[in-house]
Structure 1
Amino acid sequence: MTPMTHHEILRLVAPFTRRGLRLDPAASDRQRRRLVFAPHPPAADPHSTDAGEPVAGDAVADRADGVAPFANVAAGRITVVLDAPAPEAGEAAPWRLTRVLDDPAGVTARLEAEGRDLDALLDRLAAVAPERHIRTGPGWVIATSWRLDSSGGGSDALVLTGGVARLGDVVLTLKMPALRRYLADLEITTVDGSRLDLTEDLLAVLGTDWSTLRRYGTKWVGTLKPHGREPGRSRAAEAALTTSADHLARTLAEPPSRFHARLYRARWGVVLRRAVPLLVSLVLLVGSLFVSKLDLDQNSGLWVVMFHAPPLMLVVFFCLREIPRIEIPPLPRISATATWRPTDVPGAPAASDMSRG
């Protein structure tokens, strides 16, 4: 990759400075052709005698050329990242702009856009208020990341790329796939990397769009099924993230026994859903035992259907969005532990006994 020259950098900073942004040389990387911009610090009161307050002569007040500030810094720490690919075969590659919002609650949101006009790109980013990324609720804060998509030919559409929900020291992360038919990933971790003893059906009780959870080290991983086309698909995924965060905040604030009592029927519904692949396999196995006993003409339609059933079922199997797991699902059990955290108290029930049921 060809490093950016000083002349290239000087040519690119003008649209940013007109919007109250300045280059951060320490955070930028010329080798990777990446420039980082941050809003000017607030201007000092000319009548103030506080020498420690930063002074910016052309700070974020309305500028002489009439261009307003780029973003409201009160919403959190905002930076703008410009990725400038090197031109290939004389043709300029599109710019990629990313607005990064670090909220005081400990979550980060991003807004991405691509294009060949920097002024237009900055206007597109500024048109989306930083507050659009952050939502709060009882016990949780959510930051959503988006991509501006203008492929429809009209105004920009917001496409969800991911989201993070902070529930105290617990973090719920949503990673949206680039392809429509793929599943989104859900991940539950803690800020300090400590372990949580959750149940596999913790999110699956919310409905068929949520899968069961699997433990990988200190992480719990599951999937979410986004439905529809954009922009409805992103709105549905954002609503599902909010539902998940609200459910987790309430559940983790209660003892595990309360989760079982409150969602007893939903937990049994998850058991039945998980048992469907096993039941289908058993039905096919029993049915195959009786096929040989049937006296069918090989030219009959029923024989043709039965003969081609195995390859057709394999095709259906691999066309599913999620490959079914053939398993014996554990029955839901009430837990005697008082918390979702591991317990090392002698004589206390093992937390692993609860993690599957």
Structure 2
Amino acid sequence: MVQPLSHHQILARVAPFSAAGWTVDLAACDRARRLIAFEPVSHAGLDAAPGPVTEHLALSEPEPGRYRLSATYTAADGTRAGLRIDGDRPADLLARYQAAEVRPRLFVGAAGVCIGRSYRSAAGAAGGGEPLWRAVAAEAQVAGRRVTLDATPGAGLPGQIAITPHADGEPPLPEDLLAVLGWGWRPLVWRQGAWRSTLALRRHEPRRRDDVEARTQQLVAHLAAVFAAPPSGYHRRYRRQRWAAVGRRLLPMTVFFLVLAAVPLFGVVLQEGEMPPWLHGVPPLLAIGALLFSGTEVPLVDWPPLPRPLHATTWQGGADGG
């Protein structure tokens, strides 16, 4: 059982922070969880963030001898960004935090919308040519909706996109709302009170971090443009992209049926007794290859709805999705 922090342990851990001007917030500390919180600091503005930004800093100890320094930045519109670093010594974490080269990347703008980004690092993570900080999340407020991208599952896995519905209600969003952006963008589904999708991301750093940053700006700019125009214009503007999205969505099912038809077809073309035994292993091998090609994500094998004009008159006000 982990022992609660003693007064002496708190003083030892916060010494470098006190020297840097940070003050412990005793009411927000949790000795049982070995969490030390510091009083929030207000900044007049950080890059593209609207209005003042509040910074909350906390030092925790997830396991004995292993520390985590977390900073959360909250803009005036509620958009959040963050930095988190893990290591063995609080003083080293503070030094790395103060020298974080990604600080100017925390708040950026796209189509007049503020985007908050979150990054993580670990002591000694600079080896092997990898960046010190990895982009793990991003969020923005777009047309009354909170849009988030969670890229924390790990290298090679897709990012998780969530779009919360408008507070005044909304008509069902088109499934291809994001798929019209091209390869890697998946259809929208309504699940657990939000519109959700996935996005293919680069496997390795530093390209994965660059991909998270660029795709987030593309996502926000696209949604801002779509929601700024009436739903009736969506089909006219994206007609070609919507049909291309249907083709990409049908591709796995087409390959699936071609694989199923391949082995019987060889039985018709080849003479009796000429069909090699290894040919029966081709379908499962192709199925495994499809999974690997899809980036560890199961390909969709379904019949997508054909693109049709939207009948809703506004993007907000009406029944929630589902």
Q: TM-score, normalised by structure 1?
A: 0.79
Q: What's the offset of the Cα at 1:86?
A: 5.1
Letter in 1 for 2:306: L
Match of 2:189 in 1: 214
For the 8 Å contact 2:263–2:279, the answer to whether it is kept is no
330-339 or 129-138: bigger deviation? 129-138
Letter in 1 for 2:98: A
Match of 2:247 in 1: 272
| Distance in 1 between residues matched to 2:130 and 2:72, nearest whole Å | 22
Task: Evaluate the alpha carbon distance shift between residue 196 and residue 10 of structure 1 in structure 2; reply closer, same or farther with a 3 A threshold.
Answer: farther
Residue of 273, 279, 294 corresponding to 1:306: 279
Q: What's the offset of the Cα at 1:8?
A: 0.5
| Distance in 2 between residues matched to 1:155 and 1:295, nearest whole Å | 53
Match of 2:113 in 1: 140
Letter in 2 for 1:276: L
95-104 or 148-157: bigger deviation? 148-157
For the 8 Å contact 2:130–2:205, the answer to whether it is kept is no
The equivalences for 1:96-245 within 5 A come to: 96-128=68-100, 130-149=103-122, 150-153=124-127, 157-190=132-165, 192=167, 194-245=169-220
Q: Deviations over 1:153-204 (max 9, x none)?
A: 3796220010111114211100013421211101111474945521110011
| Distance in 2 between residues matched to 1:174 and 1:262, nearest whole Å | 25
Match of 1:16 in 2: 17
Task: Evaluate the alpha carbon distance shift between residue 228 and residue 216 of structure 1 in structure 2; reply closer, same or farther with a 3 A threshold.
Answer: closer
Task: Evaluate the alpha carbon distance shift between residue 206 and residue 318 of structure 1 in structure 2; reply closer, same or farther with a 3 A threshold.
Answer: closer
Letter in 2 for 1:146: Y
Q: Deviations over 1:233-263 (max 9, x none)?
A: 1111110010000000110111112111111
Match of 1:82 in 2: 59
For the 8 Å contact 2:165–2:195, the answer to whether it is kept is no
| Distance in 1 between residues matched to 2:204 and 2:268, nearest whole Å | 48
Q: Deviations over 1:247-292 (max 9, x none)?
A: 0011011111211111110000001111112222332344444333
Q: Once the two structures are aligned, what percentage of the paired residues are identical? A: 30
138-147 or 302-311: bigger deviation? 302-311
For the 8 Å contact 1:144–1:164, the answer to whether it is kept is yes
Task: Evaluate the alpha carbon distance shift between residue 214 and residue 139 of structure 1 in structure 2; reply closer, same or farther with a 3 A threshold.
Answer: same
Gaps of at least 5 residues in structure 1 are: 42-71, 88-92, 345-350
| Distance in 1 between residues matched to 2:166 and 2:78, nearest whole Å | 10
Letter in 1 for 2:150: K
Match of 2:30 in 1: 29
For the 8 Å contact 2:170–2:318, the answer to whether it is kept is no
| Distance in 2 between residues matched to 1:336 and 1:147, nearest whole Å | 43
| Distance in 2 between residues matched to 1:33 and 1:306, nearest whole Å | 60
Equivalenced residues, count: 310
Letter in 2 for 1:14: A
Match of 2:39 in 1: 38
Q: What's the offset of the Cα at 1:130?
A: 4.5
Task: Evaluate the alpha carbon distance shift between residue 124 and residue 196 of structure 1 in structure 2; reply closer, same or farther with a 3 A threshold.
Answer: farther
Larger radius of gyration: 1
Match of 2:49 in 1: none
For the 8 Å contact 2:39–2:56, the answer to whether it is kept is yes
CA RMSD of aligned residues (A): 2.5
For the 8 Å contact 2:168–2:316, the answer to whether it is kept is no
Q: What's the offset of the Cα at 1:335?
A: 1.3
| Aligned partner of residue 324 in structure 1, secondary structure | coil
Q: TM-score, normalised by structure 2?
A: 0.87
Q: What's the offset of the Cα at 1:105?
A: 2.1
For the 8 Å contact 2:139–2:148, the answer to whether it is kept is yes
For the 8 Å contact 1:193–1:218, the answer to whether it is kept is no
| Aligned partner of residue 146 in structure 1, secondary structure | strand
Give the number of the structure with larger relative contact order, counting CA–CA contacts within 8 Å between residues 6 or more apart. 2
| Distance in 2 between residues matched to 1:97 and 1:235, nearest whole Å | 24
| Aligned partner of residue 38 in structure 1, secondary structure | coil
Letter in 1 for 2:279: M
Task: Evaluate the alpha carbon distance shift between residue 292 and residue 109 of structure 1 in structure 2; reply closer, same or farther with a 3 A threshold.
Answer: same
| Aligned partner of residue 21 in structure 1, secondary structure | coil
Match of 1:254 in 2: 229
| Distance in 1 between residues matched to 2:41 and 2:161, nearest whole Å | 37
Task: Evaluate the alpha carbon distance shift between residue 148 and residue 21 of structure 1 in structure 2; reply closer, same or farther with a 3 A threshold.
Answer: same
